[in-house]
Chains A and B, each alone.
Chain A
Amino acid sequence: MILGRVIGQVWATKRNPRLSGQKLLLVRPLAWHRPDHETDHLVAVDPVGAEVGQDVVVCLGLPARWALGDTRHPVEASIAAIVDAVEVSADAARSPRFAFREGLVPSRLRET
């Protein structure tokens, strides 16, 4: 799972039949775990009703289909949660191994 921010929405009339009725959100990842294909955005199916500007937890791969309750959807990204707050220790937040993208920080980050 990764943290991301919803920055927009995608409309598509012609789509795989198993995608019908699904809301598609444009998400900017706040941090990556060195994936095979790093992009600066994701399109994720949204079963939880997230809104533009909110930070969300995005499930990738098979868990993305679990989060939709049907593993036959041909998708690999879905929204699992809307983030209220992110809490990290001050030490971890300053560690170079804990890096949010340049200028991209959870809007409700709390250092303890």
Chain B
Amino acid sequence: MTLARVVGTVWGARQSAGLAGRRVVEVRPLAAGRAAPGSRIRQDEGDDLLADGTMLAVDPLGADAGQLVLVAIGSRVRDLGLGADVPTKHCVIAIVDEARIEAAAGRAERGTP
């Protein structure tokens, strides 16, 4: 799963039947590599820790712009989280209150234990 921030909503006047009544959100994934230990990422905070690209996900939970969400990716996850008739592989499975980064991601030394 990927942590991402909702940056917008997408509406289509003409859409696949499987998308009818579904909320489609545009999200920007987190760039965890930029986060220093001790970083906290919450609603409307920490935009500098987001990656540049965006992706679209179907959102059954009703996340608003600025909120952090957990996006699961895959056709089976879609079957379980949304239903097999929804034409997407990206599904919002949680609205995140806070993500806390507590450890440095890298810079570990090679060595013997």
Residues on A facing B (Cβ under 8 Å): 5-16, 18-19, 24, 26, 28, 36-37, 39-44, 52-53, 61-62, 72-77, 84-85, 101-111
Contact = CB atoms under 8 A, between A and B. Distances in A.
A9 B94 contact: no
A76 B72 contact: yes
B19 interface: no
A103 B108 CA distance: 7
22 contacts: A5-B103, A6-B103, A7-B35, A7-B102, A8-B102, A9-B99, A9-B100, A13-B95, A14-B61, A14-B94, A19-B94, A26-B32, A39-B29, A40-B33, A41-B31, A43-B3, A44-B1, A74-B80, A74-B93, A103-B107, A106-B108, A111-B110
Contacts of B24: none
Interface of B: 1-3, 29-33, 35, 37, 51, 60-61, 70, 72-74, 76-77, 80-81, 91, 93-113
A101 B35 CA distance: 16
Given A9-B99, A10-B70, A12-B96, A107 B30 contact: no
A85 B37 CA distance: 24
A80 to B, nearest CB: 15
Nearest to A28: B105
B2 A43 contact: yes
Interface of chain A, helix or strand or loop or mixed?
Answer: loop
Nearest to A101: B106
Contacts of A26: 3, 32, 99, 101
B43 to A, nearest CB: 12
B39 to A, nearest CB: 8
Nearest to B79: A74
Contact of B32 (A7, A18, A84): A7
A105 B94 contact: no
Nearest to A27: B32
Nearest to A37: B73
Contacts of B33: 28, 40-41
A84 B108 CA distance: 15
